[in-house]
Amino acid sequence: MLPSATASKCLYRFLAAILLWMATTYGTAALAQQTRPERWDRATASTLVAYIERLGNHGLDPSDYQAAALKEAIQAGDPVALERQATASFGLVAEDLAIGHVRPGQRSRYYIAPNSLDPVLVARMIDVAITAQQVSWVLDSFAPHNPEYISLRAALAGPDGADPAKRVALIASLERWRWFPHNAGSRYLLVNIPEYRLRLIENGKPVASHKVIVGQIGKQTPQFQALVTGVILNPSWNVPPSIIAESVGRLVRSQPATARSRGYTWSYRAGHLEVVQRPGPGNSLGQMKLDMPNPLTVFIHDTPSKELFDRPDRTFSHGCIRTQEPFDLAQKLLADVGWDRARIDAVVAKRITTRVALGSPVPAYVVYMTAVPQPDGSIAYLKDPYKLDAALAAKLS
């Protein structure tokens, strides 16, 4: 269920738990004497068929898992064909529940490391499913078990699942939770683009929540992950070439005095204009930026345009994520290295760029969930600003 080494430990623990249950149910001696099925038989394969036919409750299409071929193998009574087809169908279901149906190369603007599933562990879980006659239970173990996924499944099985628009959001969000790292860490930042919201998660619970601004429709914030290693107070801004070409370069050339008053300095290197904006409250990064190196050059930072946080739809940036109450977030992240709000404010007041390292790096995940479970048990159905859900739902069906 979990990726890499963590997946192995988790599934081994699950295997041990099933064997303990069997020993408790049948008794150790009786268990040892039981005739263990060496292969799939008609009964266990039929249970697998029934499970596949119910996969719509995960937002998956049962026709993707060769149930018709498995039924034919059951009816034909050929043990070799039955073994081959049941094993193949089980593996397809397990893989899609564990890592998602849409493979990494087909995920739109998605740069979060994919989960993995060890084929050896799948084979061992097949043995468990046959021996314990618990095909459904074992397959359920591959799916995410976080509260969000469970709530979305419940909504899909209820009246919301019959509403076409809500169904698309539910199916797309379930799939994205299958993509999400199953071992995200005990402490991490989670940004949900359609929700315009950042949360700091500790031990599975949000301990901080902030409004955010994300990328414009034509400059979309991608789904990605990065490792936050520090907080930069009073950052300077190396203006990207695309923004120089779009606006800042024109300001520098046509109104240099205005550009200087806004903190811009510039030079030419090999004939190319390079622009830097000095630290200060007017800096486009604001007065706080998380140090989170990534090849996409997308960051979480402050902004001088505070009024935009009052808008309900907040797609205004060039792709980076602007956060409200940035110093509150910084204080949460730096509390374990002795930085309180007074110390942060004192450094910010000096307008000198200062980097403060976190005690331990904190992963940041930027995701796209349009169906979001609420504390009262309801589901919030959000706008789909980048129009990604319909295309994903089509890939799932």
Active-site residue list:
301, 320
DSSP-derived secondary structure letter, 370: S
- Taking the C-alpha atoms of residue 106 and residue 386, their distance in angstroms, rounded to an integer, is 17
Length of the chain: 397
Dihedral through CA 370, CA 375, CA 379, CA 382, nearest 10?
A: -30
Cβ proximity of 191 and 184 under 8 Å: no
Indicate the SS3 state at residue 50.
Answer: helix
Cβ proximity of 208 and 194 under 8 Å: no
Beta bridge partners of 265: 276
Cβ proximity of 285 and 234 under 8 Å: no
- Taking the C-alpha atoms of residue 375 and residue 19, their distance in angstroms, rounded to an integer, is 36
- Taking the C-alpha atoms of residue 364 and residue 187, their distance in angstroms, rounded to an integer, is 9
Q: From the centroid of its chain, how far is CA 276?
A: 33
Sign of CA dihedral 48, 140, 124, 93: positive
Provide the 10 A C-beta neighbour count for residue 391: 10
- Taking the C-alpha atoms of residue 289 and residue 335, their distance in angstroms, rounded to an integer, is 16
Residue with tokens 């019959």: 162
Cβ proximity of 283 and 314 under 8 Å: no
Phi/psi for 368 (5° steps) reads -140, 90
DSSP-derived secondary structure letter, 244: I
Residue 391, both tokens: 């295309």
Beta bridge partners of 201: 188, 206
Backbone Cα Rg of the chain = 26
